[in-house]
Chains A and B, each alone.
Chain A
Amino acid sequence: MMTMSKVAAYAASIAVLLSVGVAPESPLRLQLLPEAHAIVGAPLTPVSVAGVARRTTRRTVAVASTTTATQSSAQAATAQQQSATAQQQSATAQQQSATAQQQAAATPQPAAASTAAAGALPLGTVVPALPAGCTQVAQGGVQYSKCGANYYRAVFQGNNLVYVTAQP
């Protein structure tokens, strides 16, 4: 939640395209850039370069949008999961359609706002930061953050700490 203040600082929703090749010692601030500054690309790095060659499927890209605290209600937070695949074949099941990275970046996240009011997110949605107004809930030894209609649990996605919607 330490990222909350940063998130709230942006008047608009945050939508970030984390490029697949992103960084070993990955710059985690990438996740917090305002939507207007969505990232088109980051350089390959030694290990990730090798990874591209070795894998048939790179990790899908998390495009998450989080409305800010300025959007009042506890529902304020939404996130939309898209996935981009580095390679055509990779499409992952639960995720929304895969598009080439460039394409995704070029279409400036039109869906972010429209799905904002939807409330409950599909399970497995990944966001880089928790929305405002969450309460902590422990269940079955796992700690969840309940934020509006959604429960999130913290996980590492690669080197990045992210939050994924879950069913406690």
Chain B
Amino acid sequence: MRVRTKWKASRRLAGLGLALASLAAAPVQAQGPGVDPEAARILKRMTDYVGGLQQFGVDTSNTVEVVLHSGQKIQFTSAAKSTVQRPNKLYAARVGDVVSQSFYYDGRTLTLVNPEDGVYATVAAPDTLDAMIDFARDAVDVIAPAGDLITTDAYTRLMADTSSGFVVGKSFIDGVRCDHLAFRGDGIDWQIWIEDGARALPRKYVITTLALGGAPQFEISMRNWTLTPDVSARQFEFTPPPGARQIEFLPVGNAGAPR
């Protein structure tokens, strides 16, 4: 897999009729030469907006296509509910095709739980959401739900290897009017649909991996955004249920026995 693409950083917040809105006018940076400035502006407005939300909840539905030897493509779908409180809390519960899984991050540790298997693993984690997301991926290969769209530096992450992009036009997702943007990177095409109203929220995101035969896609739909989620501490703190067994994470790059 030769695909390389980075999704990088910038931050600022803009918002929702707040006085902070002026920040949205901050210069758009790090955009590839082929990126239509309007597409960059809309994208950055979203990342600034989401990056500036101190808390939110969102329901996601993910579809992943895999390509079989025969060339046949198969889709897998899972749904998750996520709650985020900045700077350092995240809870997500996923119901997937076979296995349900919960993800807890309380600012100190992250825990992965498979309730039906009665197992969980906990590891010390960095104390900010952004750092935790990188850590989870790099250290234990755990992918935090909605990871890339919620970091405060999402714009830079997204645009790092993006060479071109344009505004496709208006589109309705779940009845909400959105701007539809299309970008192209190194072996990757990606599209995003962003609400065009006061709440610049992402509603849909599609990644097409050109480097693989069959060009499989990953798609995430986001709905039921709430800016007033339940953020009580117990949301984010994992308490092992009776009988649950603690296991370990296999270190990244090592399929061998854990120490």
A: residues with CB less than 8 A from B are 2-3, 19-30, 32-33, 36-55, 57-60, 62, 81, 83, 86, 90, 92-95, 101, 105, 108, 123-126, 143, 153-159, 161-162, 164-167
- A47-B67 in contact (CB<8A): no
| B214 partner residues in chain A, CB cutoff 8 A | 40-41
Residue of A40, A55, A62, A156 ringed by the most chain B CB atoms within 10 A: A156
Per the 8 Å Cβ criterion, residues 205-223 of B in contact with A are 205, 207-209, 212-214, 216-218
- A19-B256 in contact (CB<8A): no
| Total contacting residues, chain B, CB less than 8 A | 72
- B4-A53 in contact (CB<8A): yes
| A29 partner residues in chain B, CB cutoff 8 A | 76, 96-98
- B98-A50 in contact (CB<8A): no
User: What are 17 pairs between A and B in contact, CB < 8 Å?
Assistant: A25-B80, A32-B98, A39-B68, A40-B67, A42-B64, A44-B188, A47-B148, A49-B3, A49-B6, A52-B1, A55-B138, A95-B255, A105-B69, A124-B254, A155-B258, A158-B141, A167-B257
- B157-A50 in contact (CB<8A): yes
| B4 partner residues in chain A, CB cutoff 8 A | 52-53
- B157-A159 in contact (CB<8A): no
| A83 partner residues in chain B, CB cutoff 8 A | 255
**Which residue of B has the minimal Cβ distance to A56?**
B253
- Which listed segment binds A: B27-35, B116-124, B170-178? B116-124
- Closest Cβ of chain A to B9, distance in Å, is 11
A44–B214 Cα distance when bound, in Å, is 13
Per the 8 Å Cβ criterion, residues 17-71 of B in contact with A are 60, 62, 64-70
| A42 partner residues in chain B, CB cutoff 8 A | 64-67, 212, 216, 218
A93–B255 Cα distance when bound, in Å, is 9
A42–B66 Cα distance when bound, in Å, is 4
A59–B76 Cα distance when bound, in Å, is 22
| A39 partner residues in chain B, CB cutoff 8 A | 66-69
